[in-house]
């Protein structure tokens, strides 16, 4: 044991400065990482407000629905519309359609999304059965969008809508292009999704 100094208990000067340096560098790394990670994952969790898309003049939509049902109130009609699709940073024109029913009263319209809630296929209106059928996996919906059979986990989306002058506008969520849903209780046969 000759030639070796006895070990002292506790911190050495070098050990203490290494520890302080590691703590400071770790704190700096965390302070840099938090905003960087936040910037990267924010778009996945951000919910943008709905975009209001013009469906058409109320009188024309009323006539479209009445014409589809040979003059009877409550008939389903396909109402096409165009919109500006926002895909991350690119904006491009696109088109789609909604299923519209003129129901009269203070609600005027009941507007359904054509997108099946199972895997996103467009459903078809089958007049003879008075139902919507999904051609992809066989989901079936009633005239008010309630799912009755097939793999669909929930009812069709119902568009929120509003009148601007004499035109009808529907709410479309622009980030993922899902339809803004507004369903009332199951007891309501004709939920009014009109926004004043």
Task: Give the pLDDT confidence of 144-170 residue by residue, as tens digits.
Answer: 888 888 888 888 888 888 888 888 888
Q: What is the largest CA-CA distance in the chain?
A: 111
On whether the pTM is more than 0.75, the answer is no
Q: What per-residue confidence (pLDDT) applies to 22?
A: 95
Task: Give the pLDDT confidence of 48-59 residue by residue, as tens digits.
Answer: 777 788 888 888
Edge-to-edge strand list for the sheet holding 108-112: 76-87, 90-104, 108-112
Listed as ranges, residues in the chain with pLDDT below 50 are 174-191
Q: What per-residue confidence (pLDDT) applies to 195?
A: 57
The residue written with tokens 């904006």 in the block is 91
Query: Could you count the other beta carbons within 10 Å of the beta carbon of residue 141?
Result: 24
């Amino acid at each position: 044991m000759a030639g070796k100094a006895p070990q002292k208990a506790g911190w050495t000067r070098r050990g203490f400065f290494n520890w302080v340096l590691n703590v400071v560098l770790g704190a700096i790394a965390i302070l840099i990482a938090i905003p960087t990670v936040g910037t990267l994952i924010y778009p996945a969790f951000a919910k943008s407000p709905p975009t209001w898309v013009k469906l058409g003049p109320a009188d024309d939509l009323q006539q479209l629905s009445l014409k589809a049902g040979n003059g009877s109130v409550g008939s389903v009609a396909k109402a096409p519309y165009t919109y500006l699709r926002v895909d991350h940073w690119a904006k491009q024109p696109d088109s789609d359609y909604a299923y519209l029913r003129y129901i009269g009263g203070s609600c005027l319209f009941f507007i359904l999304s054509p997108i099946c809630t199972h895997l996103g296929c467009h459903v078809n209106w089958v007049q003879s059965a008075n139902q919507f059928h999904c051609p992809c996996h066989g989901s079936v919906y009633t005239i008010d969008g309630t799912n009755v059979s097939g793999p669909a986990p929930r009812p069709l989306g119902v568009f929120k809508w509003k009148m601007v002058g004499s035109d009808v506008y529907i709410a479309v969520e622009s980030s993922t292009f899902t339809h803004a849903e507004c369903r009332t209780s199951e007891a309501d046969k004709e939920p009014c999704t009109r926004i004043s």
